[in-house]
């Protein structure tokens, strides 16, 4: 096997080849008067693009925009407020809130989960749904609520955890479910006349479950390429090349440059999801309710629904004052265009989820800069303090 | 939140496999890949295998992961263990 310096060199060479091909293809497309916008819907892509400085290397008429690919960022404020309501537990025995770390600092109407913890609430960070089940086993007599967020990659973990809790007859485990499905959101964004997206760079590990054929109806209906890419900059660049080849007159099709993704995806995983969940309407930050874009526990598993167990009240959706995360996750606004960015809103003291989450577009822009590139009106000065 | 890491199955017991992840032996659920066999490479996320990988591709992906900067939380989430059922005595 090649040593790491050779590998690094060959990776750099390959990246240069992709940049060359992208420049070449974009010129061809510019002649047709087309300003190309490619949206990625994957937090890992957001980070890979920012980290690699790719935007600085792309032609002026090609823009990579970050879409709703960060699970924490797309989670509606009403959900955050419900989570804090559960944590504060006024008038009932306080449950332990088991959550992925990124959720702890997202502000809500009465503060974040972190602030609830400072008030005395029990907030435990877990790395998997299964760890939340384990926590429930260790604390009999104390309710544990797992904050089940994420896309098709993480939802099977919740399904397995709930199945396990049911098999063991655990009566102190439940989930506040806000799992989201990627495809319905992509359709909504393609239907937005203000956005004018030319293609989607589709998420790698979501697509391991879905299979790239799942995007075929979108390609068919909207005549837009959908290309799955893996998690690193090389994969993203390769995906962009394939998208441009399709736009430049190639056959429009759903495909993948990530070998881990098959056409059919993981049918066993989808069966498991269908066993535990049913498809439901879901609220997305800034986008609103998208029909058939979420999951809720079904049948016997509904007993593990925290909203039902604790009679969690419906809460309102709203935008955080001054925060433009909603526009950022829809690709309408660049992180740097938000007045709060880098001033009132920083990773240390974030206002919105896109700065809280390690894979949010604002966190990526703050850490690596470079989002202004690819927008014709923007110059240099992307360096953040 | 969706990072997944390649790992090779070293041991199998029922629907649980032992793999090496982030330098330590970890058990992961094979519930989503019932066809997995001993020695197979799988792509692991948050305690379960998402899919079986071609061995060559898995090794390349593994090397790539070692070279790029990945968020620590992401790696922890991807490489977390599946908690095994407690053995009945």
Which residue has 């419906």 as its token pair? A314
- CB contacts of A68 in chain B (<8 Å) are none
Task: Give the Cα separation of A296 and B78 in Å (integer).
Answer: 24
Contact A266 B33 (CB under 8 A): yes
Task: Using CB atoms within 10 Å of the CB of residue A124, give its burial: 0 to 12 exposed, 13 to 18 middle, 19+ buried.
Answer: middle
A349 contacts: CB under 8 Å, gap ≥ 6: none
Measure Cα distances from A67 to A33, A44, A116, A188 in Å.
24, 12, 30, 12
Cβ <8 Å between B73 and A102: yes
Top residue of A6, A7, A160 to mutate, by most chain B CBs within 10 Å, is A160
Q: Which residue of A has its CA nearest to B43?
A: A260
User: Does residue B15 sit at the A interface (CB-CB below 8 Å)?
Assistant: no
Residues of A (134-173) whose Cβ lies below 8 Å from B:
134, 137, 149-151, 153-154, 156-157, 160, 164, 168
Both tokens of A358, joined, read 């390690």
Determine which of B32, B47, B78 to mutate to test the interface with A (most A C-beta atoms within 10 Å).
B32
Per-residue confidence of chain A (385 residues) as pLDDT tens digits?
Answer: 445 566 778 889 999 999 999 999 998 786 566 679 999 999 999 999 999 999 999 998 999 999 999 999 999 999 999 999 999 999 999 999 999 999 999 999 999 999 999 999 999 999 999 999 999 999 999 999 999 999 999 999 999 999 999 999 999 999 999 999 999 999 999 998 888 899 999 999 999 999 999 999 999 999 999 999 998 999 999 999 999 999 998 899 999 999 999 999 999 999 999 999 999 999 999 899 999 999 999 999 999 999 999 999 999 999 888 999 999 999 889 999 999 999 999 999 999 999 999 889 999 999 998 776 545 333 333 333 3
- Contact (CB<8Å) A359/B80: no
Contact A128 B77 (CB under 8 A): yes
What sign results for the dihedral spanned by CA atoms B15, B16, B18, B19?
Answer: positive
> What is the predicted ipTM?
0.89
User: Measured between CA atoms, how close is A27 to chain B, in angstroms?
Assistant: 30
Q: Is the pTM of this model over 0.95?
A: no
Partner-chain contact A128 B82, CB within 8 Å: yes
Give the closest of A137, A154, A168 to B46, CB-based. A154
Mutate which of A12, A208, A210, A228 to disrupt the B interface (most B C-beta within 10 Å)? A208
């Amino acid at each position: 096997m090649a040593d790491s310096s050779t590998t690094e060199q060959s990776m750099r060479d390959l990246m240069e080849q992709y940049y060359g091909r992208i420049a070449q293809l974009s010129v061809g497309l510019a002649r047709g008067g087309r300003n190309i916008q490619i949206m990625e819907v994957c937090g890992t892509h957001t980070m890979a693009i920012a980290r690699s400085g790719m935007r600085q290397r792309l032609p002026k008429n090609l823009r990579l925009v970050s879409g709703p690919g960060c699970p924490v960022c797309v989670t509606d404020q009403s959900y955050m407020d419900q989570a804090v309501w559960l944590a504060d537990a006024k008038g009932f025995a306080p449950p332990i809130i088991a959550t992925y770390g990124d959720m702890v600092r997202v502000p809500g109407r009465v503060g974040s989960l972190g602030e609830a913890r400072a008030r005395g609430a029990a907030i435990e960070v877990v790395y998997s749904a299964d760890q939340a089940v384990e926590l429930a086993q260790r604390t009999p007599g104390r309710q544990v609520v797992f904050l089940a967020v994420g896309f098709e990659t993480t939802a099977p973990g919740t399904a397995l955890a709930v199945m396990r809790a049911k098999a063991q007859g655990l009566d102190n485990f439940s989930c506040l479910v806000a799992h989201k499905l990627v495809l319905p959101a992509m359709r909504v964004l393609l239907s937005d006349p203000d956005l004018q997206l030319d293609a989607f760079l589709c998420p790698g590990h979501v697509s391991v479950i879905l299979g790239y054929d799942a995007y075929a109806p979108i390609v068919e209906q909207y005549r837009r390429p959908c290309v799955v890419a893996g998690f690193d900059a090389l994969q993203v660049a390769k995906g962009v090349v394939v998208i441009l080849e399709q736009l430049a007159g190639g056959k429009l099709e759903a495909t993948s440059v990530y070998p881990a993704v098959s056409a059919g995806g993981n049918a066993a995983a989808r069966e498991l999801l269908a066993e535990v969940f049913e498809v439901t309407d879901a609220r997305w930050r800034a986008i609103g309710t998208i029909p058939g874009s979420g999951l809720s526990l079904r049948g016997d598993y509904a007993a593990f629904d925290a909203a039902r167990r604790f009679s969690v009240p419906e809460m309102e959706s709203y935008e955080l004052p001054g925060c433009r995360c909603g526009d950022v996750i829809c690709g309408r606004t660049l992180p740097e265009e938000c007045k709060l960015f880098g001033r009132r809103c920083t990773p240390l003291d974030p206002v919105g989820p896109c700065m809280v989450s390690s894979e949010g577009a604002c966190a990526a822009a703050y850490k690596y800069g470079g989002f202004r590139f690819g927008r014709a009106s923007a110059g240099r000065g992307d360096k953040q303090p | 939140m969706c990072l997944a890491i390649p790992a090779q199955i070293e041991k199998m017991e029922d629907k649980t496999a032992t793999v090496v992840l982030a330098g330590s032996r970890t058990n992961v659920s094979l519930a989503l890949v019932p066809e997995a066999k001993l020695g197979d490479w799988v792509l692991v996320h948050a305690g379960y295998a998402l899919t079986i990988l071609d061995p060559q591709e898995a090794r390349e992906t593994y090397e790539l992961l070692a070279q790029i900067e990945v968020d620590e939380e992401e790696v922890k989430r991807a490489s977390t263990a599946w908690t095994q059922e407690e053995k009945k005595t």
